[in-house]
Amino acid sequence: MFQKLTFPFFLLQITTPPQKNPPPDFTTGYQYPVTINPPARAELFTRIDMVMLAILMLMTAYFILYRRSRREVRLISLFSLLYFGFYRHGCVCSVGSLQNVAMAIFHNGYALPLSVGVFFILPLLFALFFGRVFCAAVCPLGAAQDLILQKARRVPAWLDETLSVIPYVYLGLGTLFAATGTVFIICEYDPFVAFFRLNGGAMMITFGIIILFLSTFIGRPYCRYLCPYGVLLRWAAAWSKWKVHVAPEKCIQCHLCAESCPFNAMRMPVPEEVRPSRKSTRAVLARVLWLIPLLAILGGITGRLASPLLSHADITVQTADRVWKERHGLVQGETLESQAHRANQIPDDVLYAKAVKIRRTYALYATLFGIWLGLVFGLKLFFITTRRRWDDYDADPAACVACGRCFGYCPSEANGEFAGQGVYIQGNLNKRGQMRN
């Protein structure tokens, strides 16, 4: 049958492009087959997700702050890991949602979906009142690391302080690329998502294995040294109304709670004799303070200078660059991008104009990113030199992920007289962490 071709359709198509093979007029009453297009599953599931998020955070807050019990929180972690992680494949998560928010604010033509907005706002709101209960058990990334933690080794202070700057840089970079509508790098380099989907590129699986391996003996390495959303949660949790406290009025300074915390989130009392004097602190402060604006300005200039480089992450800029080079004979051959540009018959000038516009956007946002970096480094120096000194052991609300490990270690609490009493949740501790009547 195939050999009996009667009409050279093939040639006809080439010679008369606008009238390429119109649909024929059938004479036998032929009906087009029906194509079924499965609807997007997003709508229903995202609603369930939002409710789940709120319920799980409330439960965690109840078990950690009121019942002071870790057992249930472990179960919630496991559930979050299975549901948000393996069942929902880790999308959308609060960590990634910050990019959607940045894009909705800075980039034209993207409206923030309600579900993504809720995933961004709700954990922050909860952090303002209950501390980082989202990190404790609801975030699948945190849950994955927390559940496989065996024996935490202490990270040396100098390393801990240095690495803890990375999330701020990552937050800035993630926001920069999202605000310009380039790419969501935080999602692209999510080390866990390959496991949630049981699928992924070799590089991402390797990265994931490294992070998970580290998680067995370093408490939550992603949360502490990478997670950009953790930065925002820190800011919110620092002002939280109800937070994790170690039994303060019966503190016998046994150091067990600090030993129990795998995340280095316990503030330790500093003896009076080793505290720096007010005068020497002030001298150091004077040296550091003028550094902050200087670093910010330097960062801004560097960001501006680096903006052409950063803008190369954008595919339009890449394509324009390539097409220009091809046109001027600077490179040989074509890339898929330049082929696609020609295939879509877009004039080169239109592409160049688009790229120039994106570069201008980058010039602005890269400058802001540079200023941000300068401020981060400056303020980090500032806080290292002017650290507040504490009288008693207590959890640092910004760093504490409300896992509840320390509760079981406190000898004052071991007799169980506080459990279920809700004594610590009423905000009735004064600024020294002692009980008010």
Partner 1 sequence: MAASDSKKTRREFIADGIRTGGLIIASGAIGALAASSHAEDTVWQIDPYKCTNCGLCATSCVLDQSAVKCMHAFAMCGYCNLCSGMLRPERVGNTIEAENVQCPTFAIQRSYVENPYFQYVIDENLCIGCAKCSKGCDAFGNGSLFMQIRHDRCLNCNQCSIAEVCPAQAIVRVPASKPYLLKSKIKQDG
Site for partner 1 in 202-261 (CB under 8 A): 236, 239, 241
- Among positions 57, 118, 237, 258, the unique one binding partner 1 when judged by CB under 8 A: 118
Residue-wise DSSP of 277-303:
PHHHHHHHHHHHHTHHHHHHHHHHHHH
Q: Which is nearer to partner 1, 114 or 294 (CB)?
A: 114
Q: Which candidate, 228, 65, 85, 88, places its Cα nearest to that of 147?
A: 85
**Stretch of residues binding partner 1 (CB under 8 A), selected from 93-101, 133-141, 213-221, 247-255:** 93-101
Q: Return the range that interacts with partner 1 (CB under 8 A); candidates 61-69, 104-112, 205-213, 412-420.
A: 104-112
386 part of the interface to partner 1, by CB under 8 A: no
Q: Distance between CA 59 and CA 251 in Å, rounded?
A: 28
| Pick 279 or 431: Cβ nearer partner 1 | 431
Please, what is the minimum distance in Å from the beta carbon of residue 287 to partner 1?
27
The answer to whether residue 347 forms part of the interface with partner 1 (CB under 8 A) is no
Is 92 a binding residue for partner 1 by CB under 8 A? The answer is yes
Residue 274 contacts partner 1 per CB under 8 A: no
Minimal distance, residue 218 CB to partner 1, in Å: 27
**Among the listed residues 82, 91, 288, 291, the single contact to partner 1 using CB under 8 A:** 91
Count Cα atoms within 13 angstroms, Cβ side, for 228.
Answer: 24
Is residue 295 a contact partner of residue 371, using CB atoms and an 8 Å limit? no
| Residue in 52, 54, 82, 128 binding partner 1, rule: CB under 8 A | 128
CB neighbourhood size of 41 (10 A): 8
Selected binder of partner 1 within 97, 175, 361, 367 (CB under 8 A): 97
Q: Which of 15, 33, 156, 280 binds partner 1 (CB under 8 A)?
A: 33
Structure-token pair, residue 249: 């009025």
Of 51, 283, 340, 353, the one binding partner 1 by CB under 8 A: 340
Do residues 335 and 297 make contact, with C-beta atoms less than 8 angstroms apart? no
Q: Which stretch binds partner 1 (CB under 8 A): 7-15, 211-219, 301-309, 383-391?
A: 7-15
Rounded CA-CA distance 84/137 in Å is 11
Phi first, then psi, for residue 263 (nearest 5°) are -110, 10
- Measured from the CB atom, is 100 or 367 closer to partner 1? 100
Among 15, 150, 277, 345, binds partner 1 (CB under 8 A): 345
What is the distance in angstroms between the CA of the first residue and the CA of the last residue of the chain? 96
Collect contacts of 94-97 with beta carbons under 8 A, ≥24 apart. Answer: 94/119, 94/120, 94/122, 94/123, 94/134, 94/139, 94/229, 95/139, 95/141, 95/186, 95/190, 95/227, 95/228, 95/229, 96/184, 96/186, 96/187, 96/190, 97/229
Residue 392 CB, nearest distance to partner 1 (Å)?
17
Q: Does 431 bind partner 1 (CB under 8 A)?
A: yes
Read off the tokens for 19. 């009238």
Q: Which of 55, 105, 285, 315 binds partner 1 (CB under 8 A)?
A: 315
Residue of 115, 164, 307, 311 interacting with partner 1 (CB under 8 A): 115
**169 to 208, contacts with partner 1 by CB under 8 A?**
183-184, 187-188, 193, 197, 199-200
User: In the 8-state DSSP scheme, what is residue 358?
Assistant: H
344 touching partner 1, by CB under 8 A: yes
Q: List 266's β-bridge partners, or say none.
A: 395
Q: For 94-123, b where at least 16 C-beta lie within 10 A, e where not — what string?
A: bbbbbbbbbbbebeeeeeebebbbbbbebb
Per CB under 8 A, contacts with partner 1 among 319-338 are: 319, 335-337
Q: Which residues in 45-74 contact partner 1 (CB under 8 A)?
A: 46
Contact 254, 403 (CB under 8 A): no
